């Protein structure tokens, strides 16, 4: 992305049966400097939670829907939350990338529907996804990552979106519109965070890690207020992105406070960083490394992370 734009991409699918596939997609999006958003940030979905999810979809530039062998939990309308998210994105005119499993008969039984009514709903949903758009197919998690990259790149070319832009470019009407979009999203998230803190509830995040070099995966729900508090002294002054990654990892380990050595992979740390950004607790800025102060191309810029005003408000709730 040569003009320094960052695109928010909402990833929709059933969850339990497609965990590995979703992980691959998130890794792919992060590698191309996109901002992933999806149910990992929201926990269990219900009708009340869906109202907040709609605000995240509203401010996403692209929407990816992945279909395997499950249709998913039904809403009050009798359709799955995945289909409900898709219909909402379609209604809002957000470009959709749909990827459907190419060999459903060979999907393991535990990851497939066995109810005739749900199988019919799933097939109807697949037909809807294939109507009026290019349908991409996938077979395994590695194959899916490549297909997502191709499908998203193609969709970006056909349907260019505003994305998120750096603040050091010359102002124009287009840029002002993009800034208005960014401000709208920040306002929405501030309201959501305000609601959480007004109820004395600090946002939480479930992180996965390994202990003592074993293959056992441990899930731990961490309090983001505590993480932000540990990082706060270092973050009141912007720090380089690579330094923030180390700070975040050490802060999470302190919050978990395990008696064992903890191994947290880059995927979970990037996911947590994206979560902190979406909830407007941290933000980013790029500064030129030029001694003359001129604006250089992105590969000569350093990205810095800092604690937002909203993040500072969060700290006041727990100090």
Alpha-carbon distance of 151 to 132, in angstroms, equals 15
List, edge to edge, every strand of the sheet that includes 35-38: 35-38, 8-12, 62-67, 96-101, 135-138
Q: What is the mean pLDDT of residues 91-102?
A: 95
Q: What is the DSSP letter of 69?
A: B
Token output for 244: 């923030």
Q: What is the mean pLDDT of residues 125-133?
A: 89
pTM summary value: 0.60
**For tokens 């066995």, what's the residue?**
114
- What pLDDT was estimated at residue 298? 32
pLDDT per position as a tens digit, 147-175: 999 999 999 999 999 887 644 444 455 54
Contact 302, 289 (CB under 8 A): yes
Q: What is the DSSP letter of 141?
A: H
Alpha-carbon distance of 126 to 134, in angstroms, equals 12
Domains assigned to the chain: 8-158 (3.40.50.10140), 173-318 (1.10.10)
- Dihedral of CA atoms 15, 16, 18, 19 in degrees, nearest 10, equals 90
Angle at 223 between CA 34 and CA 43, to 5 degrees: 55
In which band, very low, low, confident or very high, does the pLDDT at 2 lie, cut at 50, 70 and 90? very low
CA 159 vs CA 94, 128, 136: distances in Å: 9, 20, 17
In which band, very low, low, confident or very high, does the pLDDT at 40 lie, cut at 50, 70 and 90? low
- What pLDDT was estimated at residue 224? 82
Least confident of 12-26, 65-79, 201-215: 201-215
Residue among 30, 19, 288, 251 at smallest CA distance from 168: 288
pLDDT per position as a tens digit, 270-281: 778 877 876 778
Alpha-carbon distance of 8 to 64, in angstroms, equals 11
Alpha-carbon distance of 77 to 55, in angstroms, equals 20
Token output for 238: 């912007």
Burial (CB < 10 A; 0-12, 13-18, 19+), residue 76, is exposed
- What pLDDT was estimated at residue 232? 87
Neighbouring C-beta atoms of residue 141, cutoff 10 Å: 15
């Amino acid at each position: 992305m040569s003009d320094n734009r960052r695109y928010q991409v909402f990833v929709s699918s059933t969850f339990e049966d497609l965990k590995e596939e979703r992980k691959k997609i998130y890794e792919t999006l992060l590698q191309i400097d996109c901002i992933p958003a999806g149910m990992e940030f929201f926990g269990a979905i219900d009708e009340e939670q869906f109202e907040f999810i709609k605000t995240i979809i509203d401010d996403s530039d692209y929407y990816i829907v992945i279909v395997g062998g499950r249709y998913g939990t039904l809403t009050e309308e009798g359709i799955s939350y995945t289909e409900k998210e898709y219909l909402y994105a379609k209604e809002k005119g957000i470009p959709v990338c749909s990827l459907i499993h190419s060999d459903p008969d060979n999907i393991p039984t535990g990851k497939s529907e066995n109810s005739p009514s749900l199988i019919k709903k799933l097939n109807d949903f697949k037909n809807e996804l294939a109507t009026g758009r290019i349908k991409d197919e996938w077979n395994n998690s590695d194959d899916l990552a490549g297909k997502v990259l191709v499908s998203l790149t193609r969709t970006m070319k056909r349907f260019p979106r505003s994305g998120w832009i750096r603040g050091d470019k010359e102002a124009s009407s287009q840029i002002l519109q993009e800034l208005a979009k960014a401000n709208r999203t920040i306002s929405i998230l501030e309201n959501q965070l305000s609601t959480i803190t007004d109820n004395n509830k600090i946002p939480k995040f479930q992180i996965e890690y390994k202990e003592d070099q074993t293959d056992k995966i441990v899930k731990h729900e961490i309090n983001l207020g505590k993480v932000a508090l540990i990082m706060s002294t270092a973050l009141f002054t912007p720090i380089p992105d690579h330094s923030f990654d180390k700070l975040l990892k050490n802060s999470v380990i302190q919050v978990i406070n395990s008696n064992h050595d903890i191994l947290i992979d880059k995927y979970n740390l990037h996911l947590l960083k994206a979560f902190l950004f979406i909830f407007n607790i941290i933000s980013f800025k790029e500064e030129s490394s030029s001694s003359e102060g001129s604006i250089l191309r992105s590969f000569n810029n350093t990205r810095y992370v800092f604690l937002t005003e909203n993040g500072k408000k969060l700290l006041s709730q727990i100090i």
